[in-house]
Structure 1
Amino acid sequence: MSAITQFHLAFPVRDLDEARRFYGDVIGCPKGRSDVNYQDFDFFGHHLVAHIAAEAAPLQDSRFDGEAVPVPHFGMNLDREAWEGLARRLKDAGVDFAEAPHLRLKGKPGQHVTMFLFDPSGNALEFKSFDDPEQTFIP
């Protein structure tokens, strides 16, 4: 596969000012272009766009490593220092975690730390950091 420099994800929100505060101020994503219907964010170097929408996709639970995880969800694989910094930032902001920061796949290939949370519009986010990033795509 060719090298990809950025992903682009557009997702629904109920209120742009609320999204700007959460993604911009709480998570720390710089804001880009915007108008009355959307707001661009620099999401750890990737192109994230919040769009006003009447409804988000309904959430369902799936299972991973013995735990329920919300689907759909999106997020980032970060290096450990950035992940720990974000976890502190979210805790300091009083964010309620759907899954508090913890270790997953302990002692197995692909071991990583993870945390799940919801934005104010109900979109599920996961941030993780692999002990060995080379194991991200192992079968």
Structure 2
Amino acid sequence: MRETRDTFHLAIPARDLDEAFTFYVTGLGCKLARRYDDRITLDFFGDQVVCHLSDKIDHDVHMYPRHFGITFRERADFDRLHALAKSRDLEFFAEVGDRFAGRVEEHLTFVLKDPSNNLLEFKYYHDPRMMY
């Protein structure tokens, strides 16, 4: 069973590592853990994202089935990241929206698109029981 000290990791394609660095480190504020000729490893909000240099980039991007991101426990953290993304002119795939309005699983969400067309969704559930 995973414990809080364990880290989830995800590998994604990147057409250019300098672009990935600029988006994730300079833009989102993630920490660079390692850099090699073919990848960068990031501390992505406490978990590990590895951007692998690749020419297999999705050109016709759709939200489903492939995206990843963070679900925030605190609304203030969601709002701060949204404001940061706006102030740093990160590319939005979808602005803040309310999903499942009026239902217990109602949540706010916005989606960013990185330079390699990977989609990142950020969420905040009004009812914290709905995080999982």
TM-score by length of 1: 0.84
Partner of 1:77: 71
Partner of 1:99: 94
Partner of 2:111: 116
SS of the counterpart of 1:109?
Answer: coil
SS of the counterpart of 2:25?
Answer: helix
The alpha-carbon deviation at position 60 of structure 1 amounts to 5.8
The alpha-carbon deviation at position 36 of structure 1 amounts to 0.7
Q: Does residue 56 of structure 1 match 2:50?
A: no
Could you give the per-residue CA deviations for residues 66-125 of structure 1, whole angstroms, max 9, x where no partner exists? xxx343111111131211111000111122322101221111021111001210011111
Partner of 1:130: 125
Q: Which has the higher contact order (CA 8 A, sep 6+)?
A: 2
Residue segments in structure 1 that go unaligned for 5+ positions in a row: 62-68
Note the aligned Cα RMSD (angstroms).
1.8
**More divergent stretch after superposition (114-123 vs 103-112):** 103-112
Partner of 1:15: 16
Between the aligned residues of both structures, percent identity stands at 35
Looking at structure 1, the residues matched to 64 and 14 of structure 2 have their Cα atoms a distance apart, in angstroms, of: 17
Looking at structure 1, the residues matched to 49 and 91 of structure 2 have their Cα atoms a distance apart, in angstroms, of: 22
Looking at structure 2, the residues matched to 9 and 36 of structure 1 have their Cα atoms a distance apart, in angstroms, of: 18
Conserved 8 A contact 1:12-1:51: yes
Report how many residues are paired.
130
Letter in 2 for 1:44: F
**More divergent stretch after superposition (80-89 vs 92-101):** 92-101
SS of the counterpart of 2:83?
Answer: helix
**More divergent stretch after superposition (73-82 vs 10-19):** 73-82
Conserved 8 A contact 2:107-2:124: yes
TM-score by length of 2: 0.89
Conserved 8 A contact 1:71-1:124: no
Partner of 1:66: none
